[in-house]
Amino acid sequence: MKTSMILNVVLAIALVFLCYKVAVTGEKKGEKQDTSEVVLNNILERTSIRSYQDQSVEEEKIEKLLRAGMAAPTAKNKQPWHFIVVTEKELLQKLAEANPHAAMAAKAPLAIVVCGDMTKALDGDARDFWIQDCSAASENILLAATGMGLGAVWTGAYPAKERYTAVSEVLGLPESLIPLNTIVIGYPDTEATPKDKWTEENISYNMYGEE
C-alpha cells in the first residue's frame, strides 16, 4: 500500500513538472513561445540607475552584456566599436572625474566605455554612421542590464570634446578610438520607477502633422 502511494505521488509530481515545462517553454511540437510581452516589458522597465550596492558584477553577466552590445545592427555590418570594460576602482574614480555627469562611477563596480573604432568606420560622408551603430550597441547593453536585474546609466562623452578627450586620456586610448559614452553599471541599491515617455504629439502617420 505504501509503495503504491509513493508511486502515485512520484507520478503526480512528474506530471506537474511536465505540464509546467510545456506551459513555460512551449515545447509542444511546432509551437513557438510568445516572448513579445517579456521583451516589451523589459524595454518599458528600463530606467537610469545611478546608485549601486557594494557588490561586483559577475564575469558571466559582463560577457552577456557585451554579447548583447555586439548583437546590435550596424551599417554594412562594419561593427565599428570597441568596448573597454572597467572594474578597477582607481580607474572608475578617474572616469568619474573625467566626466561631470559620470560621478556615480566612483562608487560603481563596473563601467563599459563604448568607443567608435575609426579603423572600421565607413569612408567619406558615411563615416559618422559609427555614432548610430555604437548607440544601438549601447542601448542593447542597457536593456540587457535591466533584464539581468542590474542598474545602468548612459553618460555621454562624444561629441563634447573635453569629455571624450579626458576619457581617452584615462584609458590610454589611441586616436583611432573615440569614446561615445561611459555606461555605469551595478546592482541597484534603491528602486526606481520608469518614466512614462509615451507622447502622442511626437507621432505623425504617413505625412508630418497627420494623426
Nearest partner of 48 among 191, 141, 151, 137, judged by Cα? 151
Confidence band for 34, pLDDT divided at 50, 70 and 90: confident
Domain-located, residue 63: yes
Around Cβ 120, how many Cβ atoms within 10 Å? 15
Query: Is the pLDDT score of 195 beyond 60?
Result: yes
Domain-located, residue 70: yes
What domain count does the chain have? Answer: 1
Residue 202 pairs in a beta bridge with none
Query: Is the pLDDT score of 42 beyond 90?
Result: yes
146: domain CATH number?
Answer: 3.40.109.10
Q: Range of 177's domain? A: 49-186
Domain-located, residue 165: yes
Domain-located, residue 182: yes
> Rounded mean pLDDT of the chain?
89
Query: Is the pLDDT score of 95 beyond 90?
Result: yes
Give pLDDT tens digits for 6-32: 444 444 444 444 444 545 555 455 567
* 143 neighbors 71 (Cβ within 8 angstroms): no
Give pLDDT tens digits for 155-177: 999 999 999 999 999 999 999 99
The model's pTM is 0.84
pLDDT score for 38? 93
pLDDT score for 27? 47
